[in-house]
Chains A and B, each alone.
Chain A
Amino acid sequence: KAGVTQTPRYLIKTRGQQVTLSCSPISGHRSVSWYQQTPGQGLQFLFEYFSETQRNKGNFPGRFSGRQFSNSRSEMNVSTLELGDSALYLCASSFGTGGNQPQHFGDGTRLSIL
């Protein structure tokens, strides 16, 4: 059974640009959550999508947005990139919605802002 797939693995962008990250969940999983991991702040929840609807949102500015498609694949977008957006972005999928579900994580996308 294929795991969670995130693309691309690495990205280098400059300030002010925008970026789109992609996540394909495990087959049959309908929930996709996104997390930002930085050395200073640790792992922080960005948002969760279930059946194409945003179910939960973390405390991030509106520059961070996401969506989910009918096949459960998800994308997150960050606009007007700032240096502080440099981080490992992790996607996780689960069968059901909510933080009580065991989540299966992808390898992450490492985003570097120059």
Chain B
Amino acid sequence: DAKTTQPNSMESNEEEPVHLPCNHSTISGTDYIHWYRQLPSQGPEYVIHGLTSNVNNRMASLAIAEDRKSSTLILHRATLRDAAVYYCILRGGTSYGKLTFGQGTILTVHP
């Protein structure tokens, strides 16, 4: 599986935007970029995913570089409930959807 590289931790203030980067220089043409997050004492939850174009949903936005070797998860207005570990994952193009989690980025949100 192609690997991703994320900063170990980031900090933000409440109500401010947060940009979480992810590098995936060995991404293949059929790999989808998925983001999941894990709140304290909970299972991971899906945030957003994309292939080539930028994506928006109610939780976040995903900006994908033109060469697809990096992406950025954008939380437009961080809240205290967004404090979590954020995982950037490449999912192969098979129908089974296997995910390989890395260490992720620990996001701390300050009031």
Does A pair with B? no
Q: What residues make up the interface of A, taking CB atoms closer than 8 Å to B?
A: none
